[in-house]
Amino acid sequence: MTNNTASKERSRIMRAVKSKDSKIEVKVRSALWRLGFRFYKNKNDLPGKPDIAFPKKKLVIFIDSCFWHGCPEHLRRPNSNQEYWNAKIARNRNRDFEVNAIYQNMGWKLLRVWEHELKKESFQNCINKIIDFIQR
């Protein structure tokens, strides 16, 4: 028998997950802004609504959550409702591949950064990677 309290709590937590302006996204954008980079955030008129966009340079950056985007290293699938979660994460990954192809066809450069790359130990290394991408 399923524990409804755990299920209701899990639903509440999942509803609270932001689709934009997550803590890690804000932290990355703040670091770039302090360094003098000016960009658009969550630009609605670009495919996939990139987290960071430099339209004049034709550059976009996506910051992908390990859970929602199916990180091969860190994805921990929920034990309940596995059919739903497998399909949901597969759809998200497929959409990511489609968005990548759209930008490639448009002649834009795209960088995807995993959430785990931005953890405390490697945050500055990842910011340096993003800066190199922007300045190339």
Mean pLDDT across the chain, nearest whole number?
A: 88
Q: What is the pLDDT of residue 9?
A: 65
- Give the dihedral sign, CA 65/68/44/110: positive
Query: Which band of pLDDT confidence, cut at 50, 70 and 90, is reported for residue 74?
Result: confident
Q: What is the mean pLDDT of residues 48-58?
A: 97
Which CATH fold would you assign to the domain 20-135? Endonuclease; Chain A (3.40.960)
**pLDDT at residue 96 greater than cutoff 80:** yes
Neighbours of 118 (CB within 10 A): 22
Q: Alpha-carbon distance 32 to 111, whole Å?
A: 15
Say which residue the tokens 């990677």 belong to: 129
